[in-house]
Amino acid sequence: MTNLAIAANGLRKSYGDKVVLDGVDLAVPEATIFSLLGPNGAGKTTAVKILSTLISADPGTGGIHIGGHDLAADPQAVRAAIGVTGQFSAVDGLITGEENMLLMADLHHLSRSEGRRVTAELLERFDLTAAAKKPASTYSGGMKRRLDIAMTLVGSPRIIFLDEPTTGLDPRSRHNMWQIIRELVSDGVTVFLTTQYLEEADQLADRIAVLNDGKLVAQGTAEELKRLVTGGHVRLRFTDPAAYQSAALALSEVTRDDEGLTLEIPSGGTQRELRAILDRLDSAGIEADELTVHTPDLDDVFFALTGSTVPNQPNQPNQPNQSTQPTQPKEAVR
Amino acid sequence: MSSLALAVRDSSTMLRRNLLHARRYPSLTLNLLLTPIMLLLLFVYIFGDTMSAGIGGGADRSEYVAFLVPGLLLMTIGSTTIGTAVSVSNDMTEGIIARFRTMAIHRGSVLIGHVVGSVLQAVISVVLVGAVGVAIGFRSTGATALEWIAAFGLLVLFALALTWIAVGMGLVSPNAEAASNNAMPLIFLPLISSTFVPVDAMPGWFQPIAEYQPFTPAIETVRGLLLGTEIGHNGWLAVAWCLALTTLGYFWSKSVFNRDPK
């Protein structure tokens, strides 16, 4: 059995009447990437703040162990094991990038020469050498993020928390950040990542947990999560109402959208299934104006589990919920 | 590393950071230094004749300079500590403080760095204002080296006390403007002390307030040490105020800083 880098039982936090985390269990094995996924306000940042010792959990919380240390009993040992890059830039804007790095080296009690070596190395790795002597407040958003992560790496932490590390970055910077995160994990570092980008979780994470309204609504690999929703379907669109009506009659098990004149037929999208649909349309003498095949992706999982409606499809009627998570109110499972 | 060595090392790192800030962005400190220097020049050269007649005994302007300078040295401390409240408040809104809180460093080092940095700035400011005072004619009357050292020591202790109070004010203020407003008493109290006029020249009902607030005993003690006037109970009172404010400011700041950040 692999050791757990992060283990939390029944994480609870509320502010007044507002329950932010309502009993969240987390278990992250060493040297893996764990992604906490959820809509804005789901409690992702609060979870990171508690696990990184920034704020305390509510009394009802069970044990929290980070890197084998009990967070409640020995927070300093936890702090020595972790590195944190929060959602908002944690750099000192008044001093230069290099001075920020040397400050971190001093606080990690590195010797002067070691501090200079690590600083030069990380500035180089994060492509900040040219800007090293400029005040951090003059950096672009992407540069500040890179400096932020570089500062987190100064003490060579074994467990790194990244709270929405690519929010606000352009696509190139985002891919660079992904590369950096992959390199960290290949060196044996454990990464706890929050994100609202499904693609990011899909690309990076070994395991994904979906947080909604302070509760975990699903947990597993990207593949396992995708299996939770039976979102695969074929969509037929018509312009002729008569053709639409007769197609709806000719095909069984359809979901109708009378306003948009579209039909959805549950389907895995295989050649066989498609031929069956087309055969039935042909034999009824109906021709659809458009046919699209839709396979489930993490978007479907996310929308299904977090109860959000699918954007850009306002006419979509509610469908019966087919997910395996019966406690969550859901609508619009595609 | 022992916890004391850790505290010293981390605090000196934080002090270096604060001094770097002060050196890069000296405008706040310099602006705050202007107030006591302007007041000194205003009261000596513009109001000087009337004011010196008011302190009694047929005093002339040079005697009023001597009367004024000790109070303005303490006012300088009040003024520079407003800068402390503002910079602490500014600092707390920065993400880097959250980073410090998640690092295995001495917890109090962030505050200690601010306090030591601010006391150093206050002392430098006091020396500068004192130099202006000497330039316009301030002379001590027969003060011994020991008395000079005692006066300097009291100024440092007073700076430490006000700085801890200002750190607490900065911590509870949501932004720099609020910090600057909350710290107003630090510049207002010297105005109602014996800085500009003797306490017994004030209305009778107000004299106890002026006499026992923190600034007046400290001013009277510095005057006594440098000018040979009567110190009386003011010496003990000044030291007691300093110790009380330091203790209060320290525990207040510590408890606010140790709360969960928003």
Residue of chain B whose alpha carbon sits nearest to that of A136: B96
CA distance B142 to chain A (A): 46
- Per-residue pLDDT, averaged over B220-244, amounts to 95
Report the residue from B9, B24, B95 with minimal CB separation from A109.
B9
Phi, psi (deg, nearest 5) at residue A236: -115, 130
| Confidence at residue A230, expressed as pLDDT on a 0 to 100 scale | 65
- Per-residue pLDDT, averaged over B174-180, amounts to 93
Q: How far apart are CA A136 and CA A56, in angstroms?
A: 30
Q: How far apart are CA B107 and CA B127, in angstroms?
A: 32
Quote the mean pLDDT of chain A: 85
CB A290 within 8 A of CB A303: no
Give the B-side interface with A, CB within 8 Å.
Answer: 1, 9-10, 13, 16-17, 20-21, 24-25, 94-96, 98-105, 260-261
CB A274 within 8 A of CB A293: yes
Chain A positions in Cβ-Cβ contact with residue B104 (cut-off 8 Å): 76-77, 79-80
Contact A86 B99 (CB under 8 A): yes
| Confidence at residue B182, expressed as pLDDT on a 0 to 100 scale | 93
| Confidence at residue A231, expressed as pLDDT on a 0 to 100 scale | 63
Domains in chain A and their CATH numbers?
Answer: 4-220 (3.40.50.300), 232-295 (3.30.70)
- Per-residue pLDDT, averaged over A282-299, amounts to 82
Report the residue from B1, B16, B96 with minimal CB separation from A91.
B96
| Confidence at residue A318, expressed as pLDDT on a 0 to 100 scale | 41
- Per-residue pLDDT, averaged over A133-150, amounts to 92
Quote the mean pLDDT of chain B: 92
Taking chain B, what is the end-to-end CA distance rounded to the nearest angstrom? 32
CB A237 within 8 A of CB A290: yes
Q: How far apart are CA A217 and CA A100, in angstroms?
A: 39
| Confidence at residue A309, expressed as pLDDT on a 0 to 100 scale | 44
SS3 label, residue A296: coil
- Does the pLDDT value for residue A325 go beyond 60? no
* CA proximity to A144, closest of A92, A80, A72: A92
Give the tens place of pLDDT for each residue, A154-188: 999 999 999 988 887 888 888 888 998 999 999 99
What are A64's strand-pairing partners? A8
CB A238 within 8 A of CB A261: yes
Under the banding of pLDDT at 50, 70 and 90, the label for residue A317 is very low
Residue A97 CB neighbour total at 10 angstroms: 29
Q: How far apart are CA A131 and CA B51, in angstroms?
A: 57
| Confidence at residue B168, expressed as pLDDT on a 0 to 100 scale | 96
Residue of chain A whose alpha carbon sits nearest to that of B11: A107
Burial A43-70 (b: 16+ CB within 10 A, else e): bbbbbbbbbbbbbebbeebeebbbbebe
Q: What element of type H or E holds A23?
A: strand A18-29
Q: How far apart are CA B16 and CA B83, in angstroms?
A: 17
- Per-residue pLDDT, averaged over B106-125, amounts to 95
Q: What single DSSP character describes residue A251?
A: S
Contact A86 B103 (CB under 8 A): no
Burial of A307 (0-12, 13-18, 19+ CB in 10 A): middle
